[in-house]
Chain A
Amino acid sequence: MAAVSEQSAPALRGKIAIWWLIASEVMVFGGAVGSYIMARAASPGWSAEAAHLSTSMATINTFVLLTSSMTMAMAFAAYQKDDQRGVQKFLLCTILLGLAFLGIKAYEYISHITENAAPWSGSFWSFYYLLTGLHALHVIAGVVVNVILLLAAGRGLRTGYRIEIAGLYWHFVDIVWIFLFPLLYLSY
């Protein structure tokens, strides 16, 4: 069983703040996902449109994001061991995996748009671009935060508990994708 010692006041305040942000994000994504579920349940024809999505691309992206969550957790573990090189190494891995995710997503978008499946091509596509686009914006935000932490660590500045705060956000973005993957690509 894990044992938790006293945390510093800024660390605890930061953690409560990020969980508060995550709580509000749950409501944002929850509203969008709930609307999609209800609209799709009321419109059986959407399965044919969903079949145009590339399950293999999405599977690779799921693998990439799950791996990035592990490297982010390892960056935090390295921070706790006071291993600054480890922090930098795992942060860099997380950033590269985040960029790989965005690159694959961009390729998917371009493929769909060239096949005339734009956001205005129908209700399914509107929801697809809304949900994945909103998620991609969060991935971009997570990458930016991680780049800032990596640059700070590279200059010898202490990233401190911010690694854990950034990690919580990154893992939340991973959880959102864990549900978007079956919702958009696997369900009938």
Chain B
Amino acid sequence: MTTERVHPNYVAIWVWLVVLMVAGLLATHLPLGKPAINNLIFAIATVKAVLVALNYMHLKSENWLIYALAIVPVLLVVAMTLVLFPDIVFHH
């Protein structure tokens, strides 16, 4: 038995991913400071990851249990890094 789903347009998503990849590359040539460029390229990477997760991994149409399994470890990793950042980066 298969799951009946209205599929996203996988090719259109791929086009967006490629456009964002190029945008990330071009962003490194912008006349901005290093922190601004770094923030920009990681923001673009996050958008790409969300596009893949929502459309190719079908998180757009999943139930709360799958959502929790996907989001909780990401939040833990971000929290762990942020908590350790001041001590490791600024004290050593």
Bound together, the chains give a CA A168 to CA B54 distance in angstroms of: 11
Q: Within residues 71 to 92 of chain B, which ones have a CB less than 8 A from any CB in chain A?
A: 72-74, 76-78, 80-81, 84-85, 88-89, 92
Which residue in chain A gives the minimum CB-CB distance to B10?
Answer: A73
Interface residues, chain B, CB within 8 Å of chain A? 1-8, 10-11, 13-14, 17-18, 21, 24-25, 28, 34, 37-38, 41-42, 44-45, 48-49, 52-53, 55-58, 60-63, 65-66, 69-70, 72-74, 76-78, 80-81, 84-85, 88-89, 92
Q: What DSSP secondary structure best describes chain A's contact surface?
A: helix
Interface residues, chain A, CB within 8 Å of chain B? 1-5, 7-8, 11, 15-16, 19-20, 22-24, 26-27, 30-31, 33-34, 37-39, 41-42, 55, 59, 62-63, 66-67, 69-70, 72-74, 77, 79-80, 161, 164, 167-168, 171-172, 174-175, 178-179, 181-182, 186-188
Q: List 21 A-B contacts (CB under 8 A).
A: A2-B60, A4-B3, A4-B62, A16-B69, A19-B70, A23-B69, A30-B77, A30-B81, A33-B77, A38-B84, A42-B88, A59-B25, A63-B18, A69-B52, A73-B10, A74-B10, A164-B3, A171-B52, A175-B49, A175-B52, A182-B42
How many Å from the CB of A14 to the closest CB on chain B?
Answer: 12
Partner of A11, one of B1, B8, B60, B66: B1
B81, A3: Cβ atoms closer than 8 Å: no
Q: What DSSP secondary structure best describes chain B's contact surface?
A: helix
How many Å from the CB of B58 to the closest CB on chain A?
Answer: 8
Asked whether A15 and B56 contact (CB < 8 A) given A30-B73, A66-B17, A186-B25, the answer is no
- Report, nearest first, the 8 A-B pairs whose CB atoms are least far apart: A30-B77, A2-B61, A34-B81, A26-B73, A70-B14, A19-B69, A8-B1, A23-B73
